[in-house]
A and B are shown apart, each in its own frame.
Chain A
Amino acid sequence: MAVRHLVREARRRAGLSQAELAERAGVPQSTIGRIESGARMPSAALVDRLIRAAGFELRVGLGEPDPGTESLFERTLRRTPRQRLADATRAARFALGGRRALRRARDA
């Protein structure tokens, strides 16, 4: 997740406007706006300060990339939109079939 999304997600989860978060963090509102729009890349210290001001804690660690979603993206992005729609249709029919089977089992 890009830093701008992280800051915005924290602010929204906290139910804060940009002005409110800026006031809590002691920075100008324009700073928040520029970070969230991607116009400014904040320092790690500033990100930590903003996340804390929103009531959260920034945790940084090293981990393996999630191979699941990434490899699925690899696959879908190689396919054409037509193929993606066909795949989605099959997946939806499978999901709808499963949903109906569960309903029948519950009603039995």
Chain B
Amino acid sequence: MPDGDFDPARMLAGLEGAGARFILIGGMAAILHGDVGVTVDVDVVPDRELGNLDRLARALHALGARIRAVGVPEGLAFDCSAAFLRNLAPDAILNLTTQAGDLDLTFRPSGTQGYADLRRDAIEVEAAEGLRILVASLADVIRSKEAAGREKDRLALPRLRRLLDRVSGDG
């Protein structure tokens, strides 16, 4: 993917247009809440319902999704089907590269129970013209980053907590 092609709106529109149910989480979700960080990929939590996996697979296929691999810029081909997605472990993470940029599918992000758990407090946001998507609450984004405990998450957490305090009137 040439750098100029990173297009999260196109990626999300592809998923939404196929009727896939998902929740945006991670750095891009934090940015939609007002964070000032920079992220170069999109993280989504899909609903594991079988029909949804079928719609998700079709969307991924249309986006030219391939497995992300170090040293293989174009990514690795894989069986982009509902059956493949259905057979993934409940806590599987699928790191993909698409024609619109890198996309991570996480069925059960750290510290959460997945789609149904995040759906409760998710908010609907107009992320681009005519594109309304569900975005995990900022508290849930923080919760998942706290549980993941990666270095980049630990660095971002103080800033995200300040943002949460600010938007919740606590700071």
Interface residues of A (CB under 8 A from B): 1-2, 5, 9, 12, 69, 72-73, 76-77, 80-82, 84-89, 91-93, 95-97, 99-100
Contact = CB atoms under 8 A, between A and B. Distances in A.
Given A2-B165, A88-B8, A96 B34 contact: no
Contacts of A82: 126-129
Interface stretch (B36-44, B45-53, B56-64, B88-96): B36-44
A82 B8 CA distance: 11
Interface stretch (B15-23, B76-84, B113-121, B156-164): B156-164
Contacts of A84: 31-32, 34
Interface of B: 3-4, 6-9, 28, 31-32, 34-36, 38-40, 101, 125-129, 135, 146, 157-159, 161-163, 165-167, 170-171
B3 A93 contact: yes
Given A5-B161, A69-B162, 16 more contacts: A1-B165, A2-B170, A9-B157, A73-B163, A73-B166, A76-B34, A76-B35, A81-B127, A84-B32, A86-B9, A88-B8, A92-B40, A93-B4, A93-B6, A96-B40, A97-B3
Contact of A73 (B9, B34, B127): B34
B125 A69 contact: no
A70 B161 CA distance: 12
B9 A89 contact: yes
Contacts of A93: 3-4, 6
B34 A92 contact: no
Contacts of B129: 82
23 contacts: A1-B161, A1-B162, A2-B161, A69-B162, A73-B162, A73-B166, A77-B34, A77-B166, A77-B167, A80-B126, A82-B127, A82-B128, A88-B38, A89-B6, A89-B9, A92-B8, A92-B38, A92-B39, A96-B3, A96-B6, A97-B4, A99-B40, A100-B3
Contact of B128 (A1, A72, A85): A85
